[in-house]
Every structure is written in C-alpha cells, then in structure tokens.
Amino acid sequence: MQFNKVLDDVKIYEAGKPIELVVREYGVDAKDIIKLASNENPYGTSPKVTKKVQEIAKNMFMYPDDSMFELKEALANKFKVESSNIIMGSGSDQILEFAIHAKCDKNSKLLMSNVTFAMYEIYGKQTGATIIRTEDDEHNLDQFRKLYKEHKPDMVFLCLPNNPLGECLDTKDVYEFLEEIDEKTLVVVDGAYHEYAAFKDEKKKIVVDELISKFPNVIYLGTFSKAYALGGMRVGYGIAKKEIIQNLYKLRPPFNITTLSLAAAVEALKDEEFVVDCIRKNFEQMKRYEEYAKTKGFSFIESYTNFIAIKFDKMYNSSEVAQNLLQEGIIVRDLTSYKVNAIRITIGSDEQNTKVLKVLDEVLKKLK
C-alpha cells in the first residue's frame, strides 16, 4: 500500500513512557513508580475541578456544546480579548496542527530553534515543508534574524518557555524581534509553560491582548495540561486576530473538546489560588535539583517551567542514566533524540523528589 511520500521523512512523536508500560517491562510495583517525564502537575487536579467533573459526568452521553461558549468567554475575560479571537483544541498541539496545515505546503519553510518542541517539525513535515533550525540549542534571536532574512520562512516558532530545555526569552526582546517580521509570516508564540515563566520573572510575562494587538501575524498558544493540571483532559487554546482564527476553524473537527474536558477547564480557571500554589511549590522544589547538579559538577539550564534539564557533558551518558532510573521505577525524559546529552526531569512533589535524588545518586555511583 502506498502512502503520502512526505510521511517517509516524518518521525513518530515519542511520548513519555506510561506507568503501565514500566510495570509490564520491569516488574516494578505501580505504587512504587514515579513518573517525571511528561511535565504533568504532581499535585493533581484542583478538588473543585474534580467535584465539578463528577457532577457533570451524568451528561457524558451527550455531545458537548460545540460553540464552547462558557469556556471561551472565561478565557476572553482572563486575557481581555474577544471570544472570536479564540479557538479551542484537544491540547494546544492540535491548534499548532491547524496553524501549520492552514499555512504550509511543500514549498513552505518553517524556522525554529535547534532544540524545541518536536511537533513543530512533525506537523511541518506532514505538509512537505522545509525545516530550518538555528545553530544554538536555546533560542538565539540573532540567529533567528539571520535565518529569517536569508530564507523568508512562512512560519516562525518561539517556544516561551522552551520545551524541552526550559529557557525563556525576555518579552522585550521578543517584541523587538517580532517588529522585524513581515506580516505575511505567521509567528507561533507557544506559551504552554508560560504561567511558570510569568510567576518566576516579570520580564518574561506576555500580555496576550497586547501581543496580538501589536502583531496581527502572531498566534499565542496556551494549555490546561501543565499549571492547571488537566493533562488527561486535553484542552488547549489559540488566541489571535479574527482572520487567523476564522481560517483555523476551517480545519477544526466538530466536538473536538469533550463534555467533561470543557467543564473541567471552566472550573480550573476559577481556582487560580490552586494554580499559583502549585507553581510556587514547583520552584521551591526545583532548587533541590539545581543544588544537586552544582554539587555533582553538572551543568543545567535555568528553567522557567515545571521541569529541569540536567546536562552530563562527558561525565555520563544520558541514555544509560535514564534507562537505569527506569529499571528502578523512575521515569524521566532522555534528551538524546534531541542530540543533547541530558535528562529532563519534571519537578515532582517533595516526597517524589527525595526518592528521585536518592535513586539518581545510586545510579550515578553504579555507572561511574
């Protein structure tokens, strides 16, 4: 059977290993497994959200409100935009898919950082587009400028903060860069982890209504999967000028957000106290990994997210470290596929981090 030839060059996205797989492959008791590979919120979902989902579960037999009126209104109020500036997706990566397929074909070029969210390339290559990357792993706007002038790409991707490395550009520098971009180029500002960056450093904070007002060629992506702890519900959103949103709607399938997911997201927006508390604890716990890395002589990237990337340079092989941790029931993300000798660790709870650091220490001694 023949398939579209562009798929020959498309890699399958490698998600973090699920707990069930580790149980099957390594015989570790499920209760002893700590999953810190997918950047989920370790504190679980707000109790208010859980209660609301339980209440609404009786309506599971019905299709959801496809206008998503209540959720879009809530987001519009939060970001001071119109509901017509918003499109909802099954995770923000679905909005990303809409945007790339709406804008690109085999003659298109996409510009991104050397190490960044893998789905930019995967969705891009599905259209046959050419991928252009900077030389530096982290976002280097001088390199973006040079490559933009040279290639005139159809789309530019800024992951703020960047997944899987964790660094984040200052908003001032982002705005200066965007002023140099032609309005025919669609720029994706991916804010999947932006709540963390804005909490940690005011200079990283993006005011979304200001962003899309200043730059009509920009779409901002957000998600409920990280700070709002709804990874299992799959709710994301895009915010942009109406022209962009209207064109993306042409690609949106009906009922792409479930009844329970809509209810959960609406309720999650009402409990900002829970979100802020989770973020505060995240950065308190992150300090433990930073101190550990310093003690061991490892470098790490200052993170504005809910994870940290620890580099081993030539001291250890990150694949071996990750594999040995896996055998002990600790799931982290090996960054070898990004050509970086590092592991990415989601910042867990106090109890989880205590165990992870203890096991990591044992693994490193074994591999030395």
Two structure tokens written together for 45: 């979902």
- Superfamily name with CATH number, domain 8-44+273-367: Aspartate Aminotransferase, domain 1 (3.90.1150.10)
The per-residue pLDDT for 293 is: 96
Two structure tokens written together for 240: 């942009």
The per-residue pLDDT for 6 is: 75
The per-residue pLDDT for 270 is: 96
Q: Give, for 303, the enclosing helix (H) or strand (E).
A: none
In whole angstroms, give the CA distance from residue 40 to residue 295: 27
| 201-203-208 Cα angle (round to 5) | 105
Instruction: Please report, for the chain, the start and end positions of each structural domain, with discontinuous segments joined by +.
Output: 8-44+273-367, 47-271
Single-letter amino acid code for the residue at 281: K
SS3 227: coil
In whole angstroms, give the CA distance from residue 33 to residue 30: 5
CA 273, distance to chain mean position in Å, is: 22
How many Cβ atoms sit within 10 Å of the Cβ of residue 358?
12
In whole angstroms, give the CA distance from residue 160 to residue 206: 9
Residue with tokens 């927006």: 269
6: DSSP letter: G
In whole angstroms, give the CA distance from residue 241 to residue 106: 26
The answer to whether 305 and 283 have CB atoms below 8 angstroms apart is no
In whole angstroms, give the CA distance from residue 60 to residue 56: 7
* Sign of the torsion formed by the C-alpha atoms of 117, 122, 128 and 131: positive
In whole angstroms, give the CA distance from residue 146 to residue 140: 10
Q: What fold characterizes domain 47-271?
A: Aspartate Aminotransferase; domain 2 (3.40.640)
Reference 313, options 293, 292, 290, 288; nearest CA is 293
Residue with tokens 């716990």: 285
The answer to whether 76 and 209 have CB atoms below 8 angstroms apart is no
Q: Do the domains at 8-44+273-367 and 47-271 have one common CATH topology?
A: no
The per-residue pLDDT for 368 is: 76
SS3 144: helix
Two structure tokens written together for 278: 């989770």
Two structure tokens written together for 230: 């709804």
SS3 88: strand
Residues 6+ apart with CB under 8 A from 210: none
In whole angstroms, give the CA distance from residue 122 to residue 243: 25
The per-residue pLDDT for 314 is: 86
CA-based max dimension of the chain: 57
The per-residue pLDDT for 367 is: 87
How many Cβ atoms sit within 10 Å of the Cβ of residue 259?
18
Q: Running along the chain, 368 residues long, what does each successive block of 10 average in pLDDT? A: 75 70 69 90 95 93 94 98 97 96 96 97 95 97 98 98 98 98 97 98 98 98 97 97 97 95 97 97 98 95 97 92 93 94 97 96 90
In whole angstroms, give the CA distance from residue 225 to residue 246: 24
Can you list the alpha helix ranges (DSSP code H) found in 225-349?
Answer: 242-249, 259-270, 272-296, 318-327
Two structure tokens written together for 238: 């895009």
